[in-house]
Structures are given as C-alpha cells and as structure tokens.
Structure 1
Amino acid sequence: MTRYFSIAAFLAAGVSGLALGPALAQDSRWVQLEAHRELDVALTRAQEYQSSIGNVSGFQLPSDWYALTLGPFETDTDAFEVRRQLRAERAIPADAFVSNGENYGARFFPTDGAAVAPVVTSQAAPAAEPEPLVVAAPEPEPEETLREAQASERQLDRDARAELQTALQWFGFYTQRIDAAFGPGTRRSMAAWQADRGFDDTGVLTTRQRAQLLAEYQGELAALGMQTIRDEDAGIEIALPLAMVAFDRHEAPFSHFMAKDDSGVQVLLLSQPGNQATLFGLYEIMQTLEIVPLDGERERRSNSFTLTGQTENLRSHTVAEFRNGQIKGYTLVWTPERDDQMARVLPMMQDSFTTFGGTLPESTGQASQVARSALLAGLSVRRPDYSRSGFYIDATGTTVTTAAAVAQCDRVTLDEAYTARVRARDDALNIAVLEPETPLVPLAFAQFAEGDMPLGQEITISGFSFEDMLTRPVLTFGRLDAEGGLNGEAGVLRLNATVAQGDLGGPVFGPNGAVLGLLSGQPPMDNRQLPPEVNFAVSADAIRGFLSENGVSSGTLRSGVTVPPEQLTRVAGDLTVLVSCWN
C-alpha cells in the first residue's frame, strides 16, 4: 500500500506541553539546517525559518554553537524525504543533513517552552488544507543487507570513495592517506564509525549510512565555513575557516585574518620578496612574537621552516618557504578549546596552499624598517627581561659578553631567536662565553689586538644601546685613557665614553678595526658615583687568556692592517650580537 504525506502537514505538526529535553532530541531524527556561534543570530534565523517553513527547534551544541533544526521525525525515511523535498525547493541550505540529535543540549527555540512531538505520516493529505503540497513516498525500505551494500559500494567512482575516506578522516576514524582504495585500514575505520553511530559494524557502509556520513561531514564543514580564498595582492590561494576568521587588512609582510565572533582563531598569510637570508631572518624574528609560544617544535631547512608553539592559553602553527625570490606561507593561531577542529583545519590549509603572482610590496601598511617591535606589522612582540650586547669570536657563533648579563637567566638567546648555553664564566673578570645550541654562521667575528695600546687613541664601541628596540647596534665614540683599573687592577682598560646599559658586553674597537676589549661598564662602588663618561673594559689580553683557559680558540688582527671607518661600521654591525635574558 502506498502512503502519502504532506510536507506542509509535516512542518506544521506540533503539540503543546513540557519543554523538549535532550532525551527526546536523541530518540528522534532531525534535519539540521545550520549552526551559529551567536545566540542572537541563531534566534533571528530561527524566526525566519519558522515563518517560512515552521516546525523549527533550536538546540545548544557542546561547542557552544546553536543548531537550527526541523523535526522531530519518527524515522530516517521521513527525515530524509523532507530534507530531499525542501532542498529541491531550495527552501533550506544544500548542506542540511539528518541528525539523530545525540549532541543536542538545551533547547533555546521556540522560546515559549512548547514541546514538539515526532511527526507521524498520515494516510492521506488533510482535506482541511487548501491545496497542500502532496508528495508520494514509498513504503520505508529496510536497511540494505551486507551483500546489497557491497553491490552498491562497487558502483562508487574514485572521487566518491576518496570523499568517504576524507569524511572518515575528518571524524578521526581514518588515519591513513587518502587513496580511494577500501583496504583493511578503511574497513576498520568504517566499522568504527558504524559502531559509534549505533549500526552493525560490518565495515561496509550502506547507501543510507554513506549519505549520513557525508551529510555529517558537510555539516561540520559548514560550521567551520571552510572556503578557498584567493588573495591577489599576496599571491596566495588557500582554504580558510571563514566562519571563524574574516579579512582585516594587508600590512606587509602579512594579510591579516582576524577572529570572527570571538572564535579565538587568527590567520596570517605571509608574502614578501627576499632570499634565503631573508627567510632565515624571518625564522628568527617570528619566534619573538607572542603568537608563537616558545614551547614547541622548530624546523629550519635550506628553503623553508616550520614553527609550532603552545601554552595553556594559545596554540600556533607557522609554515614558510622560499622560492624564486619570494617567501610565502601562513600562520594559524587558535585557543586550546579549538584543538580538535584545528587538527582538521590545518591539513586542509596545507593541502590547498598554492602560490602565484607577486608579493605584498614592502610599502603596504605601516611596517617599520627599524624598530624590532614593529618589524612584523604591528604584532605583539615577546620581550625579554633585559638585553645586553656581545660579539662573535669564531665562525660557529661562539659569543662573549659580560658575566652579569647572564648571571640569573632561565634562558639566554642570541638575537632573540637562538638559544645559547653558558660555556664558561668569570664573575671577577666579568666575562662569559656563550655557545649557541645550533651552530651559527656569523658574517664576521672578532680579531683581537695584541701588544701595546697607545693611550689617547680613539675608540669605537658597538652595542645595542636601546636593548631590543633596534635591530642593528649603535656606535659610540670615545678615547682610551689608561690601562689598569682605579686600584691598579690588571686586564682592565679605562675608557672615556658615555654608554648605556644595553651597550655592556659589546666590543671596543681601535682605529685599525682590532678589538681592544669588552665593555664592562662601571664597577660597583659604595658611597661613590663615577662621572658618566668613565667606563671600563676587559682588555683583549685578558679575554684571550680566559678563552685559552677554557679551550676556546681566538684570533688576532694581522699587524699593518687598517680598517676604513665605513668598513668598521659594517663589520661592527655584523659581529655584534644582542644577548637577551629570559625568566
């Protein structure tokens, strides 16, 4: 016997009574229309659907989103038929799907607390309705047998098989690569999904189960709003969760996509011209950003790098690559409650990431060429407790600085990116040797002076006078006044030069470019204050003796060599390094 039912009758059905609870929601079938993060938006959309279709309910989801549904329906057949008809009429979104309501929490719509009873199909269209929409529906068909499911599965093309694997992977049941081949791994994932949804775990999905899996997957994608965007200015195409982020601005070298509706998610698209040195410099400076936590894996290759970071409150993942004079990549930032969702979003971003055209010009936005805190387009930069100066003494990045600079630091970095360990320290001499955890290749390293040092000669001090505020050191000029300390201490030079705290640890150059000493500043004195221009340095001989005692090699400048002032300026900048203390 053929049964008939009216879509209008289905959607008008409702009984007053107690508020609908999760138990009833989970015992019925629903057509989920859409979901919203903001309750006000969800209520507005629910009213619109109620006016145009009727029989609308709204439930809070575990993710704190709000789902809009039609129903409830007694059977899958009823729910799928209503969904089919309304989708054909374009009355509901194409990605609407049938749900068993197991993740529905408290109901927020209708607001009058009226309960909705499951819709029961009628034997004929109600005569009272004026020309109702009548749809012929077949008798509910039983679920396919295993043999029938296998037969229908064999009709799937490669794309359909790959889509099923992708959906299983999305929900965490399938962990292997998408190959469109239903091997043992895929069968196990199908059986696991069936068991999780309350079906017999045969490992072969029926036609109806395949439809439900894909509908759930499309619903998840809709909640994230995954869409491929094409940024013509940055020359990047990538899939982004546009339900959670929205484009904000271009500010070299980034396209900023900021959090939408307090989602806690942020995306930066990186696009700038450059070479390998630019890439390596970006690798260093990115690690000073607050959105790149210190705790995480770092990997730098010859033409790319990956940075991950996590804290109790923040996660981030950055990828960048250098190719054909361009550096392009992306950063995804999120809060911990989004871990599961972002574990699904990241592979989609990675798989969809493609580059084309040019890069964001350096003049885009307000990026600074000087201030470290503004180098990356206004992003918040993590600051050390304090920073001092140091200088390279060999080709692998071994550095010397003052002992005071590293005396009480949980972590020491060179140029705020490279972690270094204290290899040797002499508090009395006020000198320390630092060894980077990863060998560096500095552009220059110190050549020490030897022999007598003419008093009264001009000196040049290179140091980060303003600590981490500038990316290059500042030169301070002065005079060598005497050898020895105020009380006749050996291995000390007295200088006539006014310096800043950030300069301490920096190299003191003579006129020929040789390093005369390491700036140590003023010694502590009780009840006395030296004039600001009186400062001291550890002499080159004392530095070399300390290095030799600790098995560190060093070199001296060849006699007769002179360095022109413009060359000294460049060399000083290349061998002076920012030493930062973190706690």
Structure 2
Amino acid sequence: MKKTLSASALFLATCLPMSALAQSTYWLQVEAQPSLREGQERARAYAGAFDDVNGFALSSGWYAISLGPYSREDAERLRRELRFENLIPRDAYIVDGSRFRQQFWPVGASSRTAAPVPLEPQSGEGSTIVLNLPEAGEGAETAETAIEAPAFVPDETPAQARRSEARLSRAEKRELQTALQWEGHYKAAIDGSFGAGTRRAMEAYQIAEGLPPTGVLTTAQREKLLSDYRREVAELGLTRVLDDTALIEIDLPLGMVELDRYEAPFAHYNAKDPDSPVRALLISEPGTPDTLAGLYDVMQTLDIVPLSGERKLGRNSFTIEGEGSEIRSYTYVRHEDGVLKGFTLVWPTGDDNRFERVREAMRASFTPFGNRAMPQSLGARREDQAVDLLAGLEIRKPTRSRSGFYINVAGTVLTTAEAVRGCDQVTLDESTLAQVALEDEELGIAVLTPQDELAPIAYADFSTLPPQLRSEVAVAGYSYEGLLGAPTLTYGTLDDLRGLQGEETRQRLALAALPGDIGGPVFDSGGAVVGLLLPQPEAGGRKLPADVSFAVPAEAIAKALAARGLRLHDAEGVDGRMHPEDLSGLAADMTVLVSCWN
C-alpha cells in the first residue's frame, strides 16, 4: 500500500545512505514514561524539535522515547552535543534497541524492524510525496492516506538548524544573546554559551513571532532577530556620552536626541524631530539628602512626568516612573558626596518595549564622575522666564482647579460635581490623590476621600439654622486656581434664600466670585458654613451680572449626605461676629485646592 512521508522524515530518508539506515542499530533514549498516553505526549513534544523521534514499548511495561537509529559513534557524538546544548535530559543514554517491543511513535509506524524502502517520485506538479511500504499487518492502518505539503516550508528542519547553529563563533553567539536580551527574552549573562536560559529565550522569541517553539533558531530566524536588533540600535543611535559639564558618563539615544542647552540643574537633550516627544535630561546639582527629597517633589510637578506611575524615595536615591496617555518617563537620581546626579528619559506611549531597553542601557551605563555639579548659574537669565517654567521645563498644569473644604476629621472633602467631572485623576492641594466617593448631580455636589490619610487642622461646622436674608457672607476659595498658593476670602451678601426660578436648593448671593472659588465654603459672619459655592447656571442664552453667584444651602447638603450615611458637624450655639483675621485663618485651615488632571 502507499503512505505519505512527512517533510522531516523525508529529510532523514534522503540525507542518510541506505547502507547507513540498514546498518544503524543504536538509539539515543531520552525518556521513558509509565503509560502510553504520557509516552505519546512526550514523543509529540520532542517531535517539535527533532526529526528522528521514535517511541517503543519496553519489556518492562514502560514506554521509551528515542532518537535514531544511528551508528554507535554518531549516537555518542549526538548525545554529547545535545546534552551540552541542554536539549535533552542529562541522563539520556545509548541503547541497542534489544528491549524495544511494539512501536507507538510516529503514529501509524508499522515496526522498527521494517527495512528501508526506496522513494518513488510522484509525477506531476502536486506536492504529495508517496512512499511504498510493506502491506499493513494486523492493527496497522489499511486506508491509503495522502497529506498535502504545507504552503510554507521552514528554511531548515530542527536538525539542520542545530547543525548551522554549531558553526557559529562565540562572538556570533554572544550577539544572538544580546539580541534576545534586547527583545526582552534573555536575562542571564552574555557569555556565548547556549545553556538552558538561552534555550528558553529562543523558545520565547519563537512564540512571540508565532513560530514553533523548538528552542533552536533556524538560520532565517537568527537573521531576522539580528536584523531587527541592529536596525533598532542604529535608529536609536545608542552612544556613550561623556558630558563634562554635567560630569556624567552615560549611553544616550543620539539617533533621536541631541544636546540643546544647559540650564541648571539640567542638561537638555531634545528630540531631533520637532514632532517627537523623545527627550533626555542629565541632572546635576549640589545638595544634601534634604535637597534630594525636595528635587523628588519638584520633578513630579513637571509636565514630562505624568501623574500615574511608581515612585520610590530612598535615603540616597529616588526613581519616578510617569505613565500618561501620550508620554511615559523614567527619572533616576542619587546623592553622593554632596552632589545630586541623575537622568530622565521621556518617550511616546506605545513605544515602550524599545525605550524600556534604552532606559535599562542608560541606567546600566550611568556613571557620575568628579565631586562637583554643573555650575548652577547656567541658564539663570533666560529671556522666556515664566512662572510655569522650571529651568526651561514646563510645570504640569491641571485641566482645571476649583476649591473644596474638609468636612470631618478624616480629611473628607466636599466640592462641586463640576470640579471632578471627566477627570482622569483628582488631587487635593496638588499633592494628595483623591477618589470621588459620591456625586449628587441634582445638587451639584461631590464628596472626595483622600488616598493617603490626612489630619486637617480644621473642618466645617454647618449652620443648623437658615441664614438671615441680606446678611453678610464670605466665600473662601482659590480664586486664581492655586497661583497664589493659599485661599482668599471674597465678601458679599445673601440676596435670596432661593434661586432665580424659586428653587429651594439654591441661594442667591451678591458676590463677585471667580472660577477658582467654585466649590468653596460660604461662611456667615460667625464662621459657620451656610452653603457651598456653585458655578453660574445656564441662563438660556442670558448673561448674568458678574456679581451674581449661587450656593447650595447647608440644610440641603446635610440632608443629602445623611441619606448616604454621612453626617456633618453642626455649629452649635455659634452667635456673634468672628473677627476677619480669625475667619481668614479658619478658611485657610479648612479650604482645599481641588485639581482635575487629564
């Protein structure tokens, strides 16, 4: 009958002389399994990497997986080579096959003793190869089988790949390990020795490329790996830089950045492409551990350091990782001998694999030298000085900033729903991240809880009585959205206990507020909170006078929050007028800058 032969079996049949096949009586036994199922699973796994896998039942009842057959000399040579390359177990050994019984692998094989039969070429253009085998015996397949060769044929069989790999020099093997490391698959030493770690890295690379994971790269796979690695390295232009102004030696991607200027404490290496966000900073300034902690805080205010990402401040060093929707950055600084030195790398989000390798190269090569920093007078008299610039770097600015105020000892903050709507992150005083615990869209209020524990100096006492009409009120708020660094008081009067349409959940104030004041507490003359300032409402195309403002009454706030299990502190027996200085101090202690970041 006729059966087809697989491409790997065909390779063995055509590469070994007929006399060698007939005379070879030794096998390299790599494993034995206690059951047929386990034996078939392991044979299938080995067949993914080797062409000459065979499986036999043993007289002991176990099932052996072997490579062969070979001459004794070839079997010994192959055993040494494969053990050295960690491709087979260390206890694999040579057998003569005398204990082999029924063959179970390859599936459908008739017998290990079947004599080799010459190939009959199939005429025509079809890709099916047909091999004449002896007539099937009992238990063998009886139907004719034909398997079409796949359209894609690997450049090498696993056996050919191993032979081509063996011809590599140690330097070529080291470059392959470096390329595998560049791709993120290899973590061990670059030593030119292909051990278990290198094999696992090769498997990982093949899986990432959608290839069979044999643990041995073919010539074409090696060429692609090296070509991609060399192209990326050339594009990045990683070059050792000796910056004798910052007094730092480091690898920088000079294919993408170039030195622009020095502006203490930074050496600015900006992108060659004006549309690229890639940039690098070298950081160099004198200081102490306290200076290090201050720089740690300052760096997090910069636009090139997104809010999200891991931060670590130690005694003598810090790292800051920024993760944003458009850019990512990494900063490392350490203090040594009275000097702070470090670097920052910025790259576009989505190009993480490549630039994380650059970051690792920069960290590994970073070497401060000398016992001094760059002159701190460099760049001190820039013509474009501005409050939103720090040494030529833009300070990160929120989408908007509003006001809020503490309502309990736990640091819970009350503000407006408008202040936190559509924000990726919300901060309190630009330093503490906060979560939106609840929103009441009808009243227009929101409650924030800080991620870190806070202990406010003061929190709101809410008035239990309706305020007196036409009485004097004051709003505490960050009128200029944090520019002044402290809240201000804006005075006015309570014009109406209802809104323009008669709404009982609104108070109308004669008070000229600014956008930054929105969300701030409305105080009566005794320092009790009688409301929360709201943004001006939509007026159907009408523009309201600048001195018309609106607030949510304290009574409506208390009722809404109590329904959600949050009780407010009542101002008990507060009477009389608080001195303006005392009211200003109270406002400063309990009012918070609420910032929305995107």
Distance in 2, matches of 1:259 and 1:281, equals: 25
> When the two structures are superposed, what TM-score results if normalisation uses the length of structure 1?
0.53
Shift of 1:346: 1.0
State which of 249, 271, 276 in structure 2 corresponds to 1:259: 271
Q: Is the CA contact (8 Å cut-off) linking 1:446 and 1:514 kept in structure 2?
A: no
Q: Do structure 1's residue 432 and structure 2's residue 446 form an aligned pair? A: yes
Match of 2:301, SS state, is helix
Partner of 1:330: 343
* Cα shift at 1:500: 1.6
Question: Which residue in the other structure is 1:172 paired with?
Answer: 183
Aligned-residue offset at 1:556: 5.7
Structure-2 change in CA distance of 1:403 and 1:167 (3 Å)? closer
Letter matched to residue 301 of structure 2: I
Could you tell me which residue of structure 2 aligns to residue 352 of structure 1?
A: 365
Distance 2:348 2:562 in 1: 50
TM-score using structure 2 length: 0.52
Q: Distance in 2 between matches of 1:161 and 1:255?
A: 37
Structure 1 partner of 2:37: none
Q: Is 1:241 equivalent to 2:257 in the alignment?
A: no
Alignment match of 1:520 (pick from 531, 534, 555): 534
After TM superposition, the structure 1 = structure 2 runs for residues 50-199 of structure 1, keeping only pairs within 5 Å, are: 167=178, 170-172=181-183, 175-178=186-189, 184-188=195-199, 198=219
CA distance in 2, matches of 1:172, 1:467: 46
Residue by residue over 1:263-291, the C-alpha shift from the partner in whole angstroms, topping out at 9 and shown as x without a partner, is 763112346765687467446534xx2x4
Task: Provide the rounded CA distance (Å) in 1 between the counterparts of 2:583 and 2:193.
Answer: 67
Task: Output the CA distance in 2 between the equivalents of 1:380 and 1:569.
Answer: 29
Three-state SS of the structure 2 residue aligned to 1:175 is coil
Cα distance in 2 for residues equivalent to 1:462 and 1:177 = 60
Structure 1 CA distance, aligned partners of 2:457 and 2:339?
Answer: 27
Does the aligned pair in 1 maintain the 2:319–2:333 contact within 8 Å? yes
State the distance in 2 between where 1:404 and 1:474 align.
19
Distance 1:572 1:252 in 2: 38
> CA contact under 8 A between 2:470 and 2:496: conserved in structure 1?
no
| Cross-structure match for 1:479 | 492
The match for 1:461 is: 475
* Contact in 2 for aligned 1:388/1:501 (Cα 8 Å): yes
CA distance change for structure 1 residues 250 and 496 in 2, over 3 Å: closer, same or farther?
farther
Q: CA deviation at 1:259?
A: 1.7
Letter in 2 for 1:478: Y
Q: Which runs of 5+ in 2 are unaligned?
A: 1-162, 206-214
State the distance in 1 between where 2:449 and 2:512 align. 29
Alpha-carbon RMSD: 5.5
| Aligned residue number for residue 26 of structure 2 | none
Q: Secondary structure at the match of 1:239?
A: strand
CA shift for structure 1 position 310 = 5.7
Partner of 2:389: 374
> CA separation of 1:418/1:280 partners in 2, compared to 1, >3 Å: closer, same or farther?
farther
Q: Distance in 1 between matches of 2:425 and 2:220?
A: 57
The answer to whether residue 552 in structure 2 is matched with residue 538 in structure 1 is: yes
CA distance in 2: counterparts of 1:276 and 1:567, whole angstroms = 37
- The answer on whether the counterparts of 1:414 and 1:577 sit within 8 Å (CA) in structure 2 is no
- Residue 509 (structure 2) aligned to one of 488, 495, 503: 495
What is the CA-CA distance between 1:478 and the residue it aligns to?
0.9
1:425 deviation in Å? 2.7
The equivalent of 1:226 in structure 2 is 239
What SS class does the counterpart of residue 285 from structure 1 fall into? coil
Distance in 2 between residues matched to 1:364 and 1:198, nearest whole Å: 54
- What is the alpha-carbon distance in structure 1 between the residues aligned to residue 443 and residue 221 of structure 2? 77
Instruction: Tell me the residue number matched to 2:301.
Output: 285
Once residues 302 and 565 of structure 1 are traced to their aligned partners in structure 2, the CA distance between those partners, rounded to angstroms, is 44
In the TM superposition, residue 258 of structure 1 has moved relative to its aligned partner by: 0.7
